Amino acid sequence: MVYDIRPLANGLRTDHPVPGLPFVDDSHLPLDDGPDAIEAVGRNKGEGMWGRCDTSREGGWLAFTTDPIAHHLGWAVRHHPEHGRTVLLLRDEDTASLHTCWLGVPLLFRAGGYWWDGEAWYRPGQIWDPVTEDYTRHKARATATVHANDMLDGHAQPERAPVHKVATFDPAVAAPANWLDHLTRWAQHHQRRNDPLPLEKCVVDLASPELTGDRLLGVPEMAALGGITASTLRGYISRGENDVPLPQAIVGGRAQWSRPVAEDWAEARRRSSEGLRDAMSAGDRHRLAPGAAQIRDRFSETFFSFLWKRPDVRKRWGLRHRNEPSVREVADQLAFEVADSLRRIIPTDALGPTIRHAVLEDFATSLRVREGRGGQLKAFDLILSLPLAKMLSWFIQHFPTSAQWYIGEIMGEADKHLGIPARVTGEALRRSATTNGELDGQAAKEFFSRVAPREPEG
């Protein structure tokens, strides 16, 4: 997922400081007492305060809390048994979102959404994969992880770096002019902790050729990749629309993106419902899909012929015939034409077999679930999924004669291949169509009395 939460500051007891952010004193938080203690700081403590902790699927734990002093701020904490602890100060309304991100694989976020899983760096997730039901993971090329000891050169002056107090911290504070002074002061505090994470393991940043300044793209280049104008992209950014990723850098007040991130955004736009709608439209201003455009054209010609080429209808455009009953009669005739043309709109010869296969598959699943219970098979043992029950109900209501044919096929195949008596199948379908579908009970009774086999006489 694109990381769209901007931290305001580092906590002083973090193991992985974010470059450019100031440090804020977090000594009033029970960071060393575990996730439950952090959650308890804000949970149910007062109006507008909250806290939560969870165990991570990837190891360790995570927690967040409203700051007990400045309630408009909040703290998010991620602890990993091997990689240590991250402590970030955010706006209180953003803590839950970061908490959700940390429930997954990412441990750290840098450079506008690049993330680290403890071994490798990945670009911001933007392209949805329907198979894995997650964003596609793309590794950043030729990355190097920058640790704290890589940056501490002995020339900084830590006494010039203030440690902010949360009660007086201004979120709009400018980035420190010389962040190495601040990092050095953080390192001094860090090394005084009990069992501190070695500085050579404290991750600060990443370096990659795709993040170098001469390779970054500005708004015009980013917009061109997305097939839009620069002004449109600026509008998206200002309004928070179209999932524009965070920039990898701000140079001279202007946003800059890495080319791979910009290309992923363009591909995500191409794959979006909006992009698909454009690609599959009939090419006119209404942006109808080709099939819908064919239906429009067909009925346009039908309606024009009915309204204009028939003298008995055309004369009704005369003022003296233009009254409510006449207009209602014409509207009813047009509506009848649509209703009577459903078979030219819905391919029942394809829909019927599709429903048949789906019903038999659901029945087979129901039988597998029922195995081992013994006893006589009952209709309520056969369960259709809710969407399939609604589709069956719709099919019966709109195409009863076709439904009669295909339900007969379902009964025959269920009896032959699954060992389900036809009457049990019929009762199961009737119950599903009325309980989970939208078929009226009396209508269902009338329909299935004409479909289900009769009991043998004698």
Query: What pLDDT was estimated at residue 3?
Result: 47
Going from the C-alpha of 278 to that of each of 266, 275, 282, 291, 311, the distances in angstroms are: 14, 5, 9, 14, 41
Q: What is the mean pLDDT of each run of 10 residues along the chain (458 residues)?
A: 70 94 94 94 90 90 95 96 95 92 90 93 89 86 95 90 93 85 95 90 95 93 93 92 90 92 92 72 63 73 78 71 74 80 82 94 88 68 90 88 90 92 91 87 86 65
Tokens of 223: 């917009």
Query: CB-side exposure of 365: number of CA atoms within 13 Å?
Result: 9
Count CB atoms within 10 A of the CB of residue 197. 18
Query: What pLDDT was estimated at residue 417?
Result: 92
Catalogue the long-range contacts made by 361-364 (C-beta closer than 8 Å, 24 or more residues apart).
362/388, 363/414, 363/418, 363/420, 363/425, 363/428, 364/418
Residue-wise pLDDT for 277-312, tens only, equals: 676 565 666 666 666 677 777 777 887 777 777 787
Query: What pLDDT was estimated at residue 376?
Result: 67
Beta strands in 252-375 (DSSP E): 254-256
pTM equals: 0.72
Which strand (E) or helix (H) includes residue 83? none
Tokens of 171: 């979120």
Query: What pLDDT was estimated at residue 381?
Result: 82
Tokens of 215: 């390779």
Going from the C-alpha of 267 to that of each of 111, 263, 264, the distances in angstroms are: 20, 6, 5
Burial of 419 (0-12, 13-18, 19+ CB in 10 A): exposed
The Cα 378–Cα 141 span in angstroms is 60
Q: Are 51 and 42 spatial neighbours (Cβ–Cβ below 8 Å)? A: yes
The Cα 111–Cα 143 span in angstroms is 12
Query: What pLDDT was estimated at residue 271?
Result: 83
Question: Which residues contact residue 258 at a Cβ distance below 8 angstroms, ignoring those fewer than 6 apart?
Answer: 111, 123, 210, 211, 215, 216, 217, 248
Q: Are 80 and 43 spatial neighbours (Cβ–Cβ below 8 Å)? A: no
Terminal-to-terminal C-alpha distance of the chain: 68
